[in-house]
Each structure stands twice: as structure tokens, then as C-alpha cells.
Amino acid sequence: MVVTILADNNTLIDKYYLGEPAFSTFIEESGVSVLFDVGYSGVFLQNALKMGITFKNLQYVCLSHGHMDHTWGLDPLIRYYTELEQEHTTHTKPELLAHPSVFRSISVDGFSEAGSLFSAEKLGCHFNMQLSKKPQYITERLVFLGEIPCTNDFEARTSIGVSSGLPDYIPDDSALVYRGKEGLVIITGCSHSGICNIVEYAERVTGETAIADIIGGFHLLNPSKERIEGTCRYLHTQRIKVIHPCHCTDLRSKIALAAVVPVEETGVSARYEFR
């Protein structure tokens, strides 16, 4: 499997790509291509085209959850496909894989809309919709986890904003997991469901316990003492080779994590290969 970061808060030195506070990755596994999250704008698309990555034969668009910094790039992606149609350029119609709640409207202080700009019905005109709360295998070794259960007390879900008049606890937050020869590779968007809950569920779904890498946002932005200590304590007990925390992971949290597991820098254009 090959993972390429298309959008992230961070850009790497001497790599002249665009960054934004958002997340998107391109994944290639066993001849299957997956776009995991689409960021906030068209940055992921601009960066991909500069890298020589095309979405003409893309097979899956997979969304980690519905927040604006992970789904609003659907607009430029739809424009991209619409223009291919206008030019009579052959292309695939990707599967869109996500939790059924990913397209709900969410309001957050300062934002009248922080959720998806598109409904599932509208997106059905452009993608083959596959919405599931249960794990869905994309290939024999790559799985979308679906809804993540909460199994520890220090990562209890917290609400962000309001949906349909009620506090929104982001039930749609999910991740991808690859069963590699050196262990699991977990790819997360924001980890609102808790990075340790995600690891626990990934191990349960796959039956594997060794972890080769965790790539993505850990949702550790000024976390409570209980949460960061619990996270470090849990990860310290796991068989983890390396992690690449980014996007919604602050510096203080990265320093704390580095005390218990190897942490490496990541950002736009970073490319990782796994057997």
C-alpha cells in the first residue's frame, strides 16, 4: 500500500505545495485507488495534479466524518468530474464510502454550517453511494471501520456544535485500517471517536495487534490532562513501530506522544509505502 498526503496543516521543507487546516490522503492498494477525505477546498486537487496523481480512474472516495475540513473539497471534486464529462473524457464513477450520518448539517459557534455542503441524495448523482455503520472491506487488506465504539473512560465523546437541535457527538467519525506484513497501518481523519478507541476497534476487526504506523489527526488540541495521559499510557502498551500525528494534533501533544512512541514529521507530499 502507498499513502500520499494531499492536504494537511503542514507542508514539508523544500516541497512547494499548498497547505490548509484540513486533511486528505491518496491511497493505492492492490490496484485499488482511494481518496480518503477531501480537505476544505481544492487544495488537495491542486496538490494531487502537481504530483501527477489523477482521479480519472479513482475507485473510492472515503470520508472520515462530515466536518468542513474533511468534506468541503467535494465541491471542487464534483467540478473536476463535471469538466471531464464536458470534455468527453473517460473516467470512472467512484464509490463514496462513509457512515450514514456523515452528511448531516452541523452548526458550531462562529460557523452557521460546519458539516457537509451536500446531501446523500445530491451526491448520489455523482457517486455510487455506500453508507455503512459496519466495517466494509475495500480490498482484502484495507477496511473502512464504520462506527467506532467507545471502550475507555478517558476518551468519552464530546460534542462539537449542534445538529437537528441536539449536541453533536460526531457518531460518523471513522478510519481506514490496512493489514500489513509488519502490522496494522491506521489512517485517521480527526479521531473524534478517540485515537485509542480507534486502535482498539481496528485490532478487534482485523484480529491483529502489532501496529506499523498511525497516520492522521489525533484530535489532541489542548487536551485535558486526563486525556493526554490516558492516551500516552494506552499507546505505550501497544506494539507500535511509529506514528505520524498531524492536522488536529498540537505541539504539546506531539511532544507527550514522543515520550512513549516514535513520532515522525509529516505533511503535504509525504509518501509512505507498506508491504
Q: In this predicted model, what pLDDT tens digit does every residue of 154-185 receive, in sequence order? A: 998 888 999 998 999 999 999 999 999 999 99
Contacts of 227 (CB under 8 A, 6+ apart): 154, 155, 220
Stronger pLDDT, 111 or 10, i.e. the higher one:
10
What is the pTM (predicted TM-score) of this model? 0.96
pLDDT band, residue 248 (cuts 50/70/90): very high
Give the mean pLDDT of 28-52: 98
The pLDDT value recorded for residue 111 is 87
The pLDDT value recorded for residue 186 is 98
Helices (H), the chain: 43-51, 68-71, 74-86, 120-123, 195-206, 225-237, 251-258
Q: Which residue has the cell 506484513?
A: 181
Is the CB of residue 65 less than 8 Å from the CB of residue 190?
A: yes
Is the CB of residue 69 less than 8 Å from the CB of residue 103?
A: no
The pLDDT value recorded for residue 80 is 97
The pLDDT value recorded for residue 109 is 87
| Cell numbers placing 208 | 491483529
3-state secondary structure of 51: helix
Give the mean pLDDT of 136-162: 94
Give the mean pLDDT of 91-95: 96
Per-residue b or e along 12-39, where b marks 16 or more CB atoms closer than 10 Å to that residue's CB: beeeebbbbebbbbbbebeeebbbbbbb
| Cell numbers placing 150 | 467507545
Is the CB of residue 245 less than 8 Å from the CB of residue 214?
A: yes
Mean pLDDT of the chain: 96
Is the CB of residue 189 less than 8 Å from the CB of residue 175?
A: yes
Residue 77 has pLDDT above 90, yes or no: yes
Is the CB of residue 195 less than 8 Å from the CB of residue 221?
A: no
Lowest mean pLDDT: which of 13-17, 128-132, 142-146, 153-157?
153-157
Residue-wise pLDDT tens digits, 175-214: 999 999 999 999 999 999 999 999 999 999 999 999 999 9
Give the mean pLDDT of 52-63: 97
The pLDDT value recorded for residue 243 is 98
The pLDDT value recorded for residue 110 is 81
Superfamily for the 2-273 domain: Ribonuclease Z/Hydroxyacylglutathione hydrolase-like (3.60.15.10)
Q: What percent of the chain is modeled with pLDDT above 70?
A: 100
